[in-house]
Amino acid sequence: MKFEFKVIKQANFYFLLHNLSRCEWPWPYRPPYNAFWKKEIGRFSKEESKALKEFHSIYKKYFLKKYIGKPFFLERDPWKKMKTYLSSKDANSLKKIFDIWGKKFDTIWRKDSINLRNWKKALEKESNLPKRKIAFEKIEKILSYLYNAPSLKLIKVFLMINKKPQTNRVDNGIGGERGRGLEGSKIILVEISRCPLSPQKINYAFGVIFHEIIHCYFSKVHLLSLIKRELKDKSKIWKIEEIINRSFFPLGILGKRFFNMQIPNTLSRGSIKNITPAQTRKILNLSEEYILRKNKIDKEYIRTMKEILKL
């Protein structure tokens, strides 16, 4: 498995507008990012606020039909593609919105682009070290038999702007999302620009990367259909998938083995709440047992997870 790390200005510009406009697909918007960016760029003018509303209107018009952000990630000249991707009117309106927000975005980009390039350089260097390559091969083999999925050749990792972490905890300052709306199983996003570079943070970044790879590829091959046969409630399906993947990376069993991460007292975090330390230990022991036995995740694993989580 190889990684291609990418820092693209237009993709990050879209990411900022998508977030400020409170669009919630293909990733959830991050309210803390908005609060941080507002402090950086100051109050919005009437024209800028109106532009955000229009952005959301255009986004909503194409919602679930096509992802309007796709050309900003995948095309060298997104505006050339946009002429045929959206209606002429919407493409022109979107271009005007970007023009209105250009100065404010550049205020952020002047700082964050330097940080993102430094992160790109560090992650590329680390991923090419012989010890890392060996570790990645071992991780891929484990994930392949756990999730009953073929190996992957290349993953594109888009490095994105984010907010400054409020604490020095290793699991603060880096966020991740699968590349929904782009090329699915081949692309992930890592929000990392304001996270300080350190060996420990680099290890955590790789843990986040593998967590998102599981979501965007490995769990789709076999796991999700298995969970859906055992659970019908969409929120429970999402919850159990997230907890399973979290038991491996970034702070789970494999995060500890390959990136020296400390296993947390609880797997509760963010939208996953109320997992007790006792439940966490049972989940981690279950996942470790399957790793040691080289078993693929099966219906017995899912049923045991349901019992532990009382789903």
CB-neighbour burial class of residue 219 (10 A; exposed 0-12, middle 13-18, buried 19+): buried
Helix axes 9-20, 31-41, angle to 10 degrees: 110
5 forms beta bridges with 157
Segment 12-28 shows an average pLDDT of: 90
Segment 123-137 shows an average pLDDT of: 97
Three-state DSSP class for residue 289: helix
CB-neighbour burial class of residue 266 (10 A; exposed 0-12, middle 13-18, buried 19+): middle
d(CA 98, CA 26): 20
Tell me which DSSP letter residue 148 carries: T
Segment 56-75 shows an average pLDDT of: 93
d(CA 246, CA 202): 18
Is residue 28's pLDDT more than 90? no
Q: Are 244 and 305 in contact (CB under 8 A)?
A: yes
* pLDDT band of 17, cuts 50, 70, 90: very high
Query: In this predicted structure, what is the pLDDT of residue 29?
Result: 81
Is residue 214's pLDDT more than 80? yes
pLDDT digits (tens, 9 = 90+) for 141-193: 999 999 999 988 899 999 999 999 888 888 889 999 988 888 766 899 999 99
> What six digits make up the tokens of 74?
């995948």
Q: Could you tell me which residues come within 8 angstroms of residue 148 by beta carbon, excluding any fewer than 6 positions away?
A: 221, 222, 296, 297
Segment 95-120 shows an average pLDDT of: 97
pTM of the model: 0.95
Q: In whole angstroms, how large is the CA radius of gyration of the chain? A: 20
> What six digits make up the tokens of 244?
């399973």
Mean pLDDT estimate for the chain: 94
Q: Are 220 and 186 in contact (CB under 8 A)?
A: no
> What six digits make up the tokens of 194?
């304001």
d(CA 68, CA 82): 9
Query: In this predicted structure, what is the pLDDT of residue 185?
Result: 63
d(CA 12, CA 206): 20
pLDDT digits (tens, 9 = 90+) for 41-55: 999 999 999 999 999
E strands, the chain, in order: 2-6, 154-160, 175-179, 184-191
d(CA 228, CA 247): 19
Backbone φ, ψ for residue 185 (5° rounding): -80, 0
Segment 4-15 shows an average pLDDT of: 97
